[in-house]
Structure 1
Amino acid sequence: MILDLPDTTTTAVTRALLRLRDEGGAVALGRVLTLVIDAEAGDVEQAVDAANDASREHPCRVLVLARKPSRTTSKLDAQIRVGGDAGASEVIVLTASQDMLTHADTLVMPLLLPDAPIVVWWPNELPENPAEHPIGRMAQRRITDSLACSDPLKSLRRLRADHVAGDTDLAWTRLTVWRGLLAASLDQPPHEPVVHAEVSGHDTHPSVVLLAAWLAHALRCPVDIVRQEGVQGITKVVLDRASGPIVIERPDGRTATLLQPGQPLRHTSMPMRELRECLSEELRRLDPDEVYGEVLVDGLERIGAA
């Protein structure tokens, strides 16, 4: 069910939500958090689709601030989506002028779930300083996506400069499977130190840089980045040890091969992670991701990407 409220107020939106709840169209019980999405109007649907999928694991209220630069009048339009149009959440899309969104905190405050954590997500371009953004100051977790920015690597450096506990980036979340596979391979004998590592992947993909930074931080060894064009994300990681290298290669973005000294070649499914998977993973935790912070601050410096 979709309810449009043109030229409205947050008070009127709250009343409409209560009315829908009374009529049985929306149930607020069981909502575990409020997810605030700050996006350009043209990016709203993709972000809402990902949030709806994630809400099946994390029932939430989704508040979307739809930025519309062409709007010059101080007018607020709202749309409420419940039921089949909102997954396991209730979605409120607020379309406002840039002037109104300058005070975004006062705009969303009446619509927040009481006594529930707040997570804010910027699905595309990130703000100047996420922790100092009006919504960012209210949130326990702040999620960005440097890959979706016009200059991913510059955005990564900005995130490092302004990092505060509670910040995270989906370029880091996309590495979960890689990190798990690499850690598992090092758990196998012989337990030798890694003397050098190499990460190959797309020349502007921030996950390539973050994986290299994580390896440099965790292994305390030199790490080189091999930048490639026309590939998807990370394609290869080599960990050099005295007995021979560990090589994980994923040239097609779907299946990875693992080669270890003295062991047969192994294949494992490793498709590129979808947006909804990454968002859902980040919504599972509301405590700061300390490892991400350490990789930003220490790891990037170790590989000369600070």
Structure 2
Amino acid sequence: MIVELPNTTTSKITKRIVKMREQGGVVALGRVLTLVVITKRGREEEAIEAANLASREHPCRIIVLAAGSPEDKTCLDAEIRVGGDAGASEVIVLRGSGELAVESESVLSALLLPDAPIVAWWHTDAPASPSKSAVGRIAHRRITDSANSADPRDALEHIAQTYADGDTDLAWTRLTNWRVQLAAALDQYDGSDPITGLQVEGASDSPSTLLLAAWLHRALNVPITVTEDPSGTGIRRVVMERHNGNVELTRPGSLEATLLQPGQPEQKISLPRRSLQDCLAEELRRLDPDLVFGEVITLGLPKLLAEEKVVKA
């Protein structure tokens, strides 16, 4: 069910939600958090789809701020989506223009679930400093996506400079399965044949490649080479160099990887690229700061960029 409320106010939206609940009980209670999605006009459906799928694991109220033009007349149009149009949640879409075309805590305050954590997700462009933005100041977790930037490397460096506890980036979330596989491979070896070098290969437009390299470089503290592949290919290969034979994890496509280890047969591993909703669902599982990401982005990344050797594939 979709209820449209043109030229409205947050007070009217709240009253309509209460009325819908009283009349039909279509808006279920039991939400665990409020997810605030900040996106551009015309991109909201993509964000709503991902948030709806993630909400099946984390029932929440989804508030979508789809900014219009600040040059237009000040106006607030809204939609309330429940039932099949809202996954396991209720979705409130706010399309503001004029003075309401920017993030505003005052617009949100009446619509937030009482006494529930707030997660902010910038689906498109991130603010200069998420923790100091109007929505970020009230959020427990703040999710950005440096992959949407024209220059992902510059975006990561900016995140490193403005990082605050509670910040995270989906480029880091996309690494979860790579980190799990590499950590499992490392667990099989004792310290008798230490790692002497690292090679990380991935697309030039992939911030995940740099974050994976920064994580490994910080954890192992050995020389590293980052090889840049053509844009759009994602992470391709990680090599951990040892005197008695390298450990190599390679993903030539987007679904399956090959793990090569000294003295062991070749292993085929399922390592698909993660969908937007999978990454978002993972981030909604935790409301405490991601300390590992904080260390990698503020300490590991600057160290990597200062010492790395970058070559073209």
Structure 2 CA distance for partners of 1:60 and 1:267, relative to 1, 3 Å: same
1:149 CA displacement: 2.0
Unaligned runs of 5+ in 1: none
Aligned residues: CA RMSD: 1.4
Query: In 2, Cα distance between the equivalents of 1:84 and 1:196?
Result: 52
Which one is further off, 46-55 or 228-237?
A: 228-237
**1:152–1:204 Cα contact (<8 Å) kept:** yes
Normalising to structure 1: TM-score of the pair?
0.97
Q: What is the rounded CA distance, in whole Å, between the counterparts of 1:24 and 1:223 in structure 2? A: 60
Match of 1:123 in 2: 123
Residue 64 of structure 1 corresponds to 64
Alignment check: 8 A CA contact 1:81 1:92 kept: yes
The Cα of 1:269 is off from its aligned counterpart by: 1.0
Report Cα offsets for 1:249-298 as digits up to 9, x if no partner. 00111100000001000001111100000000000000000000100111
The CA distance in 2 between the partners of 1:102 and 1:67, in whole Å, is 6
Residue 242 of structure 1 deviates from its aligned partner by 2.2
Q: Verify the 8 A CA contact 1:200 1:237 in the aligned structure 2.
A: yes
Partner of 2:288: 287
Structure 2 match to 1:155? 155
Deviations 1:203-260 (CA, angstroms, capped at 9, x unpaired): 1210000000000111111221100105521000000122211000001111000000
How much has 1:28 moved relative to structure 2?
4.0
Paired residue for 1:181? 181
Instruction: Tell me if 1:276 matches 2:239.
Output: no
Quick check: 1:220 aligned with 2:221?
A: yes
State the Cα distance separating 1:68 from its structure 2 match. Answer: 1.1
Structure 1 stretch 14-23 or stretch 137-146: which is displaced more?
14-23
Q: Judge conservation of contact 1:173–1:278 (CA < 8 Å) in 2.
A: yes
What is the aligned partner in structure 2 of residue 164 from structure 1?
Answer: 164
Q: Deviations over 1:50-93 (max 9, x none)?
A: 00000000000000110112751111100000000000000000
Q: Quick one: distance in 1 between partners of 2:304 and 2:174? A: 20
Cα distance in 2 for residues equivalent to 1:150 and 1:72: 27
Contact kept? 1:25, 1:83, Cα under 8 Å: no
Equivalent residue, structure 1, for 2:16: 16
Deviation at 1:157, TM superposition (A): 1.1
Amino acid at match of 2:142: R
Partner of 2:252: 251
Task: Give 1:150 deviation, angstroms.
Answer: 2.4
Where does residue 193 of structure 1 map in the other structure? 194
Tell whether the 8 Å contact from 1:255 to 1:268 is kept in structure 2 after alignment: yes
Conserved in 2, the CA contact under 8 Å of 1:222 and 1:303?
A: no
Q: 1:230 to 1:204 in 2, by over 3 A?
A: closer
Q: CA deviation at 1:27?
A: 3.0
Q: Is the 8 A contact 1:26 1:90 kept in 2?
A: no
Q: Conserved in 1, the CA contact under 8 Å of 2:198 and 2:240?
A: yes
Identity over aligned residues, as a percent?
Answer: 50
What's 2:135 paired with? 135
Distance change >3 Å, CA 261–CA 229, structure 1 → 2 = same
